[in-house]
Amino acid sequence: MRLFGHRVPLTALIGLAIIAINVVAAVGAPLIAPYDQAAVLGDAWADPTPQYVLGLDDLGRDLFSRLIYGARMSIGLAFVVTCLSFAIGIVTGFAGAVLRGWVDMLLSRIVDLLLSMPTLIFAFIVLSVLGTALPVLIVTIAILDSTKVFRLARALAMNIAALEYVEVARVRGEGLWWVIRREIFPNAVAPLVAEFGLRFSFAFLFIAALSFLGLGVQPPAADWGSMVRDYRDMINLDAMAPLYPAGAIAILTIGVNFVVDWMLAVHSRGHGEGA
């Protein structure tokens, strides 16, 4: 099978299928889930039945419904965080590479300062002080993640800005925004798209970790990290409940990385042929 003119290996097809299934579940959660995520339907830890295919959780809520709604929250949050981190990282990275001088130095030192602090501890401090509301969670993780995007965007922009066609554009009087929009960004899209997948995986796992530790998504909203936390004690009783959200986290992460690996391989081949 070929996609965008490139042969898609089996692993990438599997990854695309995993992503597609999760996206459909996340977008169509109210239509797919048989029950509301917070509805109490029966006894705690009731066994699976044709009516409740995965059984009920510790409060008598349908596990299958909460798993689907958890996909919506976990994937949706990770996607928003990644988009925001890329918006911040690309704008600041390109600005530093093109403007140079004190602008580049100031932005680089701020990024170095953020990178010098352990990410999880910094997030703990911010969320403990400002609270765990979703806007605070999104902005905190996006700012922390944008530091990696900044470094990549800056390195790409500096390499591209040194090429002859960019110098020609500057000589003929093109403005800074035009150079970034028409010359630098189009030539940096491929590695940035691959990096988007990696950053999405990081944000996805980071949100799950924060939720597991009680600083992420708060009840009664369902997300996979908090579900693992709520059900973790049942593993001692040979119950499958904690394995469902944990398996969903692992499978989606693997699927995204399959696709990212393929995209990086395509980019590497294209770069080698261009050279």
- pLDDT beyond 60 at 128: yes
pLDDT, mean of residues 43-66: 90
How confident is the model at residue 99, as a pLDDT?
Answer: 82
pTM: 0.89
Residue 82 near residue 141 (C-beta atoms within 8 A): no
Is residue 275's pLDDT more than 50? no
Rounded Cα–Cα distance for residues 270 and 275 (Å): 9
Q: What does the pLDDT read at residue 4?
A: 56
Pairs from 25-32 (Cβ < 8 Å, separation ≥ 24): 25/68, 25/71, 25/72, 26/71, 26/72, 26/75, 26/76, 27/72, 29/68, 29/69, 29/71, 29/72, 32/68
Higher-confidence residue: 268 or 16?
16
Beta-carbon contacts of 190 under 8 Å, excluding residues fewer than 6 positions away, are 263, 266, 267, 270
Give the residue among 158, 161, 192, 190 at the shortest CA–CA distance from 269: 190
DSSP, residue by residue, 219-271: TTS--HHHHHHHHGGGGGGT-STTHHHHHHHHHHHHHHHHHHHHHHHHHHHHH
Q: Domains of the chain (ranges plus CATH)? A: 2-274 (1.10.3720.10)
Task: State how far Cα 81 lies from the chain centre.
Answer: 7
pLDDT value for 271: 54
What is the band of 82 on the pLDDT scale with cuts at 50, 70, 90?
very high
Reported as half-sphere exposure (CB side, CA atoms, 13 A), residue 151 has a value of 12
Give the pairing of strands 6-7 and 2-3. Answer: antiparallel
Residue 49: both structure tokens together = 């039945």
Mean pLDDT, residues 181-190: 83
Average confidence score pLDDT of the chain: 87
Q: In this structure, what token pair is assigned to residue 44?
A: 């705690």
% of the chain at pLDDT higher than 90? 49
Tokens of 137: 């969670």
191-210 exposure pattern, b = at least 16 Cβ within 10 A, e = fewer: bbebbbbbbbbbbbbbbbbb
Q: What is the pLDDT, as a whole number, of residue 160?
A: 85
Lookup: tokens for 34: 């048989």
**Candidate ranges 130-134, 174-178, 182-186, 263-267; pick with highest mean pLDDT:** 130-134
Q: Are 125 and 118 in contact (CB under 8 A)?
A: no
pLDDT digit string, tens, across residues 194-243: 889 889 999 999 999 999 988 888 888 889 999 999 888 888 777 888 89
Over residues 214-225, the pLDDT tens digits come to 888 888 888 999
Which tokens in the block code for residue 24?
């459909």
Q: How far apart are CA 223 and CA 125, in angstroms?
A: 22
Q: H or E stretch including 118?
A: none
